[in-house]
Chain A
């Protein structure tokens, strides 16, 4: 509850600073619209914003689920097999050297202007943090437990299922928390490169028509949705995954 109140206070402070900058500099409203105008625009354009926000959130959520699933399975595969580690890990690290932005046009070319190019973008951007934090946790299993399992003549896949995966779930959860913040970035990048729907598309459109207030409105809706998504994922992780650590 205190965290929630602190967040609200920080938001109010941010809005106050925003207004203070406008008063101090007298900047034109098409460069930096005042908070009150943006609030008014959010209210007036709520139907438009909601329609585009729904598209963006659909991309984000599907990307998040698929990326989390893929990252979960990849991390297990990597942790289980030294051969996979030797072959795939360098590829993973190399893939991180490619700017995601550079991939967006290619994905649009391959997958079209619809949802899937954005979902894939979100998936790609969250795949690495999920995989790497879960993989690291899988490789850090308590050695005493592994020793005990070996004395018990356990089978490797059963050690994975009954010991390594449960003990690494908090690591998976921290990857998911990062993913919840990254996934919207992927979706928005995808929308900037080529889309006819979504908050990213709406921001570009508003910018092109010098409707800065609408652009800010879309930005704030996106930010609020991202915060809510992060909070939701956080709650979910606390209720389920974090418990396994004991």
Chain B
């Protein structure tokens, strides 16, 4: 998967001369300040780009899965029905047994019949993760999926997501340096000048929160983000 070129929305340039390749089977963390165009990159990969004019080239698979900051659960459906909504929307056969199995993998086996309003923020995001798993795509796009969660829930969700989406091609958009340090097989900082690769800590993701090099990487990332552009 690769995105090259420049993009604008209307007359407003979003990014220039970008060249981002995603390595298959690895997590790429795209880190950057607000307004630098991270979300536009994700939208281009997701095919949600009708407002974006891209002068360049996009190489992306036809089918991807998306998980965003908002859980995007349909409030009138149960957790289980939300998990299997993709098949319903496509007119495919709805596999409720697999839906239940996926829900139990995110630890919500006994919440399947509940409506989203009866679940906590963390539980709702788990349902969203289950829905993403249910889609079963090789490429998964994560648009700040943990940023609305409290610190403890966020750490748990990062662990769970990294475990369940291991070996998939993942693009994680985040503005959280610690998250990037924990979850990136590759970490790329996006600024107005373009992309910069950052050395990643050792070890498989999800890396431990208290590992020395994870904390060091977090500090490095924060320093780079703070540099005036």
Residues of A in contact with B (beta carbons under 8 Å apart): 144-145, 147-155, 158-159, 162-163, 166-167, 243-246
B40-69 Cβ-contact flags toward A at 8 Å (1 or 0): 000000111000000000000011111010
Could you write out 10 A-B pairs with CB less than 8 Å apart?
Answer: A144-B68, A145-B74, A149-B89, A150-B47, A151-B46, A151-B66, A153-B89, A155-B90, A162-B88, A246-B75
Check B35 for interface membership: any CB of A closer than 8 A.
no
Tell me if B86 and A243 are in contact (CB < 8 A): no
Residues of B in contact with A (beta carbons under 8 Å apart): 46-48, 62-66, 68, 70, 72, 74-76, 85-86, 88-91, 115-117, 135
The DSSP consensus for interface residues of chain A is helix
Tell me if A246 and B115 are in contact (CB < 8 A): yes
Distance between A76 CB and nearest chain B CB, rounded to angstroms: 17
For B46, B76, B90, B91, the residue with the greatest tally of chain A CB atoms inside 10 Å of its CB is B76
Q: Sort A-B residue pairs by CB-CB distance and give the 4 closest, nearest first.
A: A246-B75, A154-B89, A244-B76, A152-B86
Residues from chain B with Cβ under 8 Å of A144 in the complex: 68, 70, 72
In the complex, how many residue pairs between chain A and chain B have their CB atoms under 8 Å apart?
60
Tell me if B76 and A166 are in contact (CB < 8 A): yes
Distance between B136 CB and nearest chain A CB, rounded to angstroms: 12
For A149, A151, A152, A163, the residue with the greatest tally of chain B CB atoms inside 10 Å of its CB is A151
Residues from chain B with Cβ under 8 Å of A246 in the complex: 75-76, 115-117
For B48, B70, B89, B116, the residue with the greatest tally of chain A CB atoms inside 10 Å of its CB is B89
For A159, A163, A243, the residue with the greatest tally of chain B CB atoms inside 10 Å of its CB is A163
